[in-house]
């Protein structure tokens, strides 16, 4: 591991990955508060951005959980290293 890379805890990693979901939740709550009646209207672009945000989160979760699934089954002995999120690759598989 490069000495310049700062390792972070699992809790901090999860906290960082949940930030876009928290922002999304705040946006949706604001839209609900501004809406009168039963129907909520939003632009197609806003809806597409919501789906994209959820996709990114789910892809990150699947990548981390796939490692845990392999470890539980005993298919892989690799370790997960959670590195500084400012680096291009936040999760790195090490042999």
pLDDT value at residue 30: 92
Residue 35 has pLDDT above 70, yes or no: yes
The pLDDT-based confidence of 2 (bands split at 50, 70, 90) is low
Question: Do the beta carbons of residue 91 and residue 82 sit within 8 Å?
Answer: yes
Q: In which element (H, E) is residue 80 found?
A: strand 79-82
Q: Is the pLDDT of residue 85 over 70?
A: no
10 Å CB burial of residue 47 (0-12, 13-18, 19+) is exposed
Residue pLDDT, tens place only, 49-81: 999 999 998 888 888 777 666 666 655 445 555
Instruction: Tell which residue, 20, 8, 5, has the closest CA to residue 61.
Output: 20
Query: Residue 41 pLDDT > 70, yes or no?
Result: yes
Residue 12 confidence (pLDDT): 82
């Amino acid at each position: 591991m490069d000495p310049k890379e700062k390792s972070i805890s699992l809790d901090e990693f999860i906290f960082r990955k949940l930030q876009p979901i928290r922002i999304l939740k705040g946006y949706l709550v604001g839209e609900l508060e501004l809406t009168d009646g039963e129907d909520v209207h939003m632009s197609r672009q806003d809806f597409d951005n919501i789906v994209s945000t959820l996709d990114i989160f789910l892809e990150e979760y699947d990548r981390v959980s796939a490692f845990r699934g392999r470890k539980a089954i005993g298919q892989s002995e690799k370790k997960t290293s959670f590195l500084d999120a400012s680096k291009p690759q936040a999760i790195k598989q090490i042999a």
